[in-house]
Structure 1
Amino acid sequence: MFAGTTTIIVQLDGAKRWRIYGATRPFPLRSRTRARRPPTRSPCQDLLAPALTAHPALRIATKAGYFTAATGADAVNAGVLTQDHAMAGHSVAPDYVRWQMGRSREQLGRERLDLVLLHTPEPAHPGDRPALHRAMLEAFVVLEEAGHVAGYGIATWAGLEEESFTVGELLALAAEATGGRHHAVQLLVSLVMMAPIVGP
């Protein structure tokens, strides 16, 4: 479902009939330096929506940040991104985050989103920590004020390691967005990323 990640499918009921879709890019880890071909619409949301409707107690997480060329074109048509921003393939701008939440709710058939993660926010302002923190704060405010988001946070592979932000800074930004309520932090732990359990 996402390039460079492992997907685990849990079958809740019914016969085992799976349809496997290939990678959206032949070399998903290669840098996107060449012009992109517009991909076809991803079937993931269309496939998930009936299952989520059938199992309303199933909690889900969705993301806002990276997007396909097709989603970028939709965002430009909706007036929430400029053509230049769409070509970047990533945004955590308030208008885009607000629009993407509405799109996710519609595609997943859910009135309320259990968890929305800013997907790797670092590219929003590479090398400019103050500008990145302002952009994240603005996105947090949108998520906080939405009224149909139960929880939010960030999904990052290298943001903490590269010191784009610290856990303390993330908590401070969330507190500023909410007026001081308490928050929890979930750190990435995998066979590749062991720092949260072996570090100081």
Structure 2
Amino acid sequence: MKKLKLQIQISVDGYIADSQGRTDWMIWNWGPTWTWDDPLQKYFIDLHATIDTVLPSRKMAAEGFIDHWARVASNPGDPQYPFAKAITAAHKVVFTKTLSQSVWENTSLAKGNLAEEINTLKKQDGKDMIVYGGASFVSSLIAAGLIDEFHLFVNPVALGSGLSIFKDPGYKRDLTLVASQSYDCGMAVLTYVPAKGKQ
């Protein structure tokens, strides 16, 4: 069965954006200059080699996530090309209640119950899935117990307040740490899975 993986950047105190929604505190914020060190870039690329389906939130898709990475994937000389190629080649599934048809290439819409739609996707053959989205979308997946792996890319900054993916999940999340690694650029990657018997 496919796994649903979450890869997301956070602060050391658990926020994905500050209280104004800004993310300029991240070491790399999807800009053209890839400011992570080479080993972290490799981890990121290798993670995306394990997936064939991307679940971007509707808002992220509408803000240009799919189109942006398609443009990067058209330039083999770009250092972000391997990641962009994986994102572009993967099937995208956008969860929406408002859109009637997809305007993006290689993308379909999911309009039904979130858990039912994702569990149906998990039963399909192929590689794993990865989700990209804002706090609300990701929180709903966590609350429904749908995330199988948490890849938390921790930036060396504390924000004090902001947007959290663990806001009001409805119940406590018990996780098991399966890997941790620090990087010269200042980042740390913590990988968790749901604790057995605690879902």
> Which interval holds the TM-score relative to the shorter structure?
0.3 to 0.5
Name which one, 1 or 2, has greater alpha-carbon Rg: 1
Higher helix share: 1
Higher relative contact order (CA 8 A, sep 6+): 2
TM-score in terms of structure 2 length: 0.32
TM-score in terms of structure 1 length: 0.32
